[in-house]
Amino acid sequence: MHDTTLPAGFIEGCAAILGDAALVRDPEAIEPYVTDFWGQYRGVTPLVLRPGSTAEVAALVKLAAAHGVALVPQAGNTGLVVGGIPDQSGRQVVLSVQRLDRIRHVDPSGDHLVAEAGCVLAEVQAAAAGIGRLFPLSLGAEGSCRIGGNLATNAGGVNVLRYGMSRALVLGLEVVLADGSVWNGLRPLRKDNTGYDLKQLFIGAEGTLGIITAAALKLAPAPNEVQTLWLGIDDPRTAVRLLTLFQQEMGELISSFELLTSFGVEAACEHLPGVRRPVAEPHPWHVLVEVAWSFPDGLRDRLEAVLEKAFEEGLVQDGTLAESGAQRDMMWRIREGQSEATRHMGFIVRSDVTVPISELPELIERMQAWVGPAAPGVQLIPFGHVGDGNLHFNFVTPPGEVDRLKPVLLDRLYEEVGRLAGSISAEHGIGRLKREAMQAGKSEVELSMMRRLKAAFDPQGILNPGVILKTE
């Protein structure tokens, strides 16, 4: 039993608030709450709390504050940086928001909805679709990730170019603060300049400044025609020039603009069932573009005109438009199956970096020039969201070499990203996994500002300690 690691009376207090059924104490039942998405990290806790209302969350936090117990807020537990599972101490208690799963309100004008933190992202999307609107946040884990976690990590996904990160989709928040008080900031307003915009504090703070219990979310018009285009191109510089052309010609309609390597595309064709290359020949690089609008038709002609221009300017070697939903799905399967497909070639070292869009080719060229002599046998697979300046700059390492190479490859990548004024975490966050790398890359001024925020909003350090910032 780990229970002895918690102060006397704490568990009894939790049971008095929640009832025994909402306390998880059986080690086997605890397992899914302490294991991370990729199954690579495992935390330790004697207790998982499953409150069913904001008032219960508030009472639990008040109790934890009184006993000095650390809480790890958790939603869908699909994060990729070990930000939602406890550390090894056995003294951190998981507070799961999964039972806060109501859509509280859908606005009749179609302007917004209010969802509790434990709503699965796909359910939020469905609630928006139910009134003919779009909730644009979309990512691989949408069937199991939960909106509270999406907001706490400021999740990105495949529609950022057009709709922005999660932050851009939030009108208001309800948050339980570190002393157990409840901030009702759920005002569903498009504009509100009454003092400091406090909701911004909690979005992307990974549960370290407060626990998000509900959110007023902005909805967008639903697109009625979607067109998907696959291009074969020569190099990343051409990809950025193509993006500029598309921005000029139809910028407001671009939802996705994704870059892929020849290696990654061929791997997908070889290893993913039913997948074949959308264009006849292999090309050094490929681009996947998706555009959409509210009208029912006419977009295809517009897109073809832009494509013609791209051919005339010599930017594109080959290209094809998806002729059916099945063909569109296959294009996206290649894009989303990059990790899965390349895993057959060796062990993957993953990353999630951004640089200013104009510097993307430079980053790729520098890493290519370095990797050959410095890490022979390593294959670079930089792919992802060119339109956001964001690459999942992955590496395939030879068998048995991954442990030695991983720090070497990531150190060099982060170094080059730093030189190009970039970021080592575009959309995944910091968690416990990137904490040291983040601290190495930030100025003392910036780190001190972050510590000041943490001290102001969680002076006892009971909210997700060790995530983002080291505990003192």
CB proximity list for 421: less than 8 A, separation 6 or greater? 355, 356, 359
Residue entry with tokens 């009625």 = 224
The residue written with tokens 């940086």 in the block is 81
The answer to the question of residue 143 lying near its own copies (CB under 8 A) is: no
Does 414 bind its own copies (CB under 8 A)? Our answer is: no
The span from the CA of 414 to the CA of 363, in Å, is: 10
CA–CA dist 377, 400 (Å, integer): 12
450 is a contact residue toward its own copies (CB under 8 A): yes
From the list 17, 94, 177, 348, which residue makes contact with its own copies (rule: CB under 8 A)? 177
449 binds its own copies (CB under 8 A): yes
Largest CA distance in the chain: 75
Residues 6+ apart with CB under 8 A from 29: 48
Minimum CB–partner distance for residue 224 and its own copies (Å): 9
Among positions 385-404, residues that touch its own copies (CB under 8 A) are 385, 387-390
Instruction: Please give the residues from 237 up to 296 whose contact with its own copies meets the rule CB under 8 A.
Output: 240, 243-244, 247-253, 293-295
Other Cβ atoms less than 10 A from the Cβ of 187: the count is: 12
Q: Which is nearer to its own copies, 278 or 466 (CB)?
A: 466
* 200 scored as a contact of its own copies (CB under 8 A): yes
Q: What angle do CA 391, 395, 396 make, to 5 degrees?
A: 140
Q: Which of 7, 90, 110, 337 binds its own copies (CB under 8 A)?
A: 110
Q: Check binding of 160 to its own copies (CB under 8 A).
A: yes
**Does position 324 bind its own copies by CB under 8 A?**
no
Binding-site member from 125, 154, 213, 351 for its own copies (CB under 8 A): 154
- Residues 334 and 261: their CA atoms lie apart, in Å, by 11
Task: Tell me: does residue 438 bind its own copies (CB under 8 A).
Answer: yes
Judge whether 79 and 38 are in contact, CB under 8 Å: no
Residues binding its own copies: what is the number (CB under 8 A)?
96
Query: Other CB atoms closer than 10 Å to residue 188's CB: what's the count?
Result: 17
Q: Which CB atom, from 122 or from 220, has the smaller least distance to its own copies?
A: 220
User: Which is it for strands 379-385 and 254-261: parallel, antiparallel or unpaired?
Assistant: antiparallel
The nearest distance, CB 309 to its own copies, in angstroms, is 12
Applying CB under 8 A, among 59, 127, 203, 322 the residue interacting with its own copies is 203
> Is residue 23 a contact residue for its own copies (CB under 8 A)?
no
Q: Which of 204, 207, 278, 466 binds its own copies (CB under 8 A)?
A: 204
Q: Does 36 bind its own copies (CB under 8 A)?
A: no
Give 171's Cβ-side CA count (13 Å radius): 18
Segment near its own copies (CB under 8 A), from 86-94, 372-380, 398-406, 455-463?
455-463
168 lies in the binding site for its own copies (CB under 8 A): yes
For residues 325-354, which are near its own copies according to CB under 8 A? Answer: 354
Task: Identify which of residues 4 and 191 has a Cβ nearer to its own copies in the complex.
Answer: 191
Distance of closest approach, residue 291 Cβ to its own copies, in angstroms: 11
Structure tokens at 372: 């050959």
CA atoms within 13 A on the CB side of 145: 25
Q: Measured from the CB of residue 84, what is the shortest distance to its own copies in angstroms?
A: 14
Neighbours of 105 (CB within 10 A): 15
Cα 102–106–109 angle (5° rounding)?
175
Is 153 a binding residue for its own copies by CB under 8 A? The answer is yes
